């Protein structure tokens, strides 16, 4: 006879302390009564469903950093609101299916399923009551067993933890991103220096979000890690393919000015640390260039409108790589920010990014998901649909010959 396990969890509201007992039953197993699944494409008005970054949405909402922000490795965001509700937001141009949100309570080590979304549309936001605060319910544990929890009046901040899982292939790509950069937009740049920077709008913001998720995935990719931490080998391979001597710096070096070919090279240990600096949890403000030059440094990294609308779909990431490296702390003297001295990260990252588009190994490779080039009312330039083609001399294509996809 098959045995089943059913857990009863008693919540003592005063200190939210928990006692848990479990028992196994012979014969007919306990039949749990789980909460129904949710289709976020068809929510009632009470959930306040909305699509973030609608084309005609006020940019003031986009610039509200208390309301619009996300971490690049967590585009599906769950934030507690008050003592009895959560805000669900998806910062993605493509929706998700089969999204499971788990909760964990103090003094109880097991996670249990609190929301089961069959569909979550692109750039979705909605609000949901925490079912624990509405009555006694059965919940499925991550082990497949069942827990029954009595009503809890409410939760102080941090008293309940949420985590997200999904079988959706897109979500599985999100999970591979090692960076936890906090992404937001700031109007301080164009307000303080209009002309040098221009205001962004929701059309551009959606493109920027799409780009930074792709970019963070590329930086996290095992092939990029291997190449970054063995840049000296990459340079030698390039020279061998070209039948030339190695041009310029032999490896990564810092911000000290070159003294007639004498570079301040980093050690292997320093290079390893620098790689992880690119994937840390600092804040990134994404802005749009207005003047002749793109800018980066501190929390800022910027891009031209053309880069947001069409460039990233074509793999033209040189400018973004350059400004992002300023954001990490490297100046024009370092080949981590520049393509000088016979090739640096600008060049290498661009080649690699294009190779990933060729492999279809980025979260988003189809510009049709946003159709940014068609939103002429919101753009200063005129663009055509970006159509990607790979250069047959791409060094990653020559080396890996279509292999290396992050499975």
DSSP 252-264: -B-SSPPBTTB--
Do 87 and 125 contact (CB within 8 A), yes or no? yes
Whole-model pTM: value is 0.93
Q: What is the DSSP string of 18-72?
A: EEEEEEEESSSPP---BPPPEETTS--GGG--EETT-TTS-HHHHT-TTTS-EET
| pLDDT at position 9 | 52
Residues linked to residue 104 through DSSP beta bridges, in sequence order: 161
Extract the residue ranges of the chain whose pLDDT is less than 50.
1-5, 7, 10-26
| pLDDT at position 241 | 85
Render pLDDT for 97-156 as a digit per residue (tens, 0 to 9): 999 999 999 888 899 999 999 999 999 999 999 999 999 999 999 999 999 999 999 998
Do 354 and 391 contact (CB within 8 A), yes or no? yes
| pLDDT at position 26 | 46
| pLDDT at position 108 | 83
- Radius of gyration over alpha carbons of the chain, in Å? 25
Residue 391, classed as helix, strand or coil, is: coil
Render pLDDT for 21-49 as a digit per residue (tens, 0 to 9): 343 444 557 788 999 999 999 999 999 99
| pLDDT at position 286 | 97
């Amino acid at each position: 006879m098959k045995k089943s396990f059913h857990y009863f969890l008693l919540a003592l509201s005063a200190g939210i302390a928990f006692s848990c007992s479990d028992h196994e039953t012979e014969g007919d197993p306990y039949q749990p009564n789980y909460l129904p699944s949710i289709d976020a494409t068809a929510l009632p008005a009470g959930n306040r469903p909305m699509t973030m970054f609608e084309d005609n949405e006020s940019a003031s909402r986009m610039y509200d950093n208390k309301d619009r922000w996300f971490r690049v490795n967590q585009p599906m965001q769950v934030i507690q609101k008050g003592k009895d509700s959560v805000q669900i937001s998806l910062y993605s141009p493509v929706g998700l299916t089969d999204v499971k949100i788990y909760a964990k309570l103090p003094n109880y080590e097991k996670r249990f399923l609190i929301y089961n979304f069959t569909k979550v549309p692109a750039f979705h936001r909605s609000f949901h009551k925490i079912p624990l605060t509405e009555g006694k319910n059965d919940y499925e544990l991550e082990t497949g067993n069942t827990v029954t929890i009595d009503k809890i009046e409410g939760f102080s901040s941090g008293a309940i933890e949420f985590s997200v899982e999904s079988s959706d292939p897109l979500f599985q790509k999100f999970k591979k991103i090692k960076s936890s950069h906090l992404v937001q937009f700031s109007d301080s740049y164009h307000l303080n220096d209009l002309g040098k920077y221009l205001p962004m709008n929701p059309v551009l913001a959606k493109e920027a979000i799409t780009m930074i998720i792709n970019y963070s995935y590329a930086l996290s990719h095992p092939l990029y890690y291997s190449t970054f931490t063995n840049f000296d080998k990459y340079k030698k391979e390039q020279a061998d393919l070209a039948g030339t001597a190695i041009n310029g710096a032999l490896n990564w070096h810092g911000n000290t000015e070159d003294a007639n070919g004498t570079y301040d090279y980093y050690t292997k240990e320093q290079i390893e640390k620098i790689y992880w600096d690119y994937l840390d949890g600092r804040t990134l403000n994404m802005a749009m260039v207005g003047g002749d030059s793109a800018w980066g440094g501190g929390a800022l990294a910027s891009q031209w409108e053309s880069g947001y609308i069409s460039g990233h779909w074509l793999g033209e990431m040189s400018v973004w790589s350059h400004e992002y490296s300023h954001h990490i702390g490297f100046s024009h003297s370092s080949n981590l920010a520049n393509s000088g001295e016979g090739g640096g990260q600008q060049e290498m990252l661009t080649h690699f990014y294009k190779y990933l588009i060729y492999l279809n190994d980025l979260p988003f490779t189809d510009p049709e998901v946003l159709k940014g080039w068609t939103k002429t009312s919101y753009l200063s330039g005129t663009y055509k649909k970006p159509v990607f083609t790979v250069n047959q001399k791409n060094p990653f294509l020559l080396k890996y010959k279509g292999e290396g996809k992050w499975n």
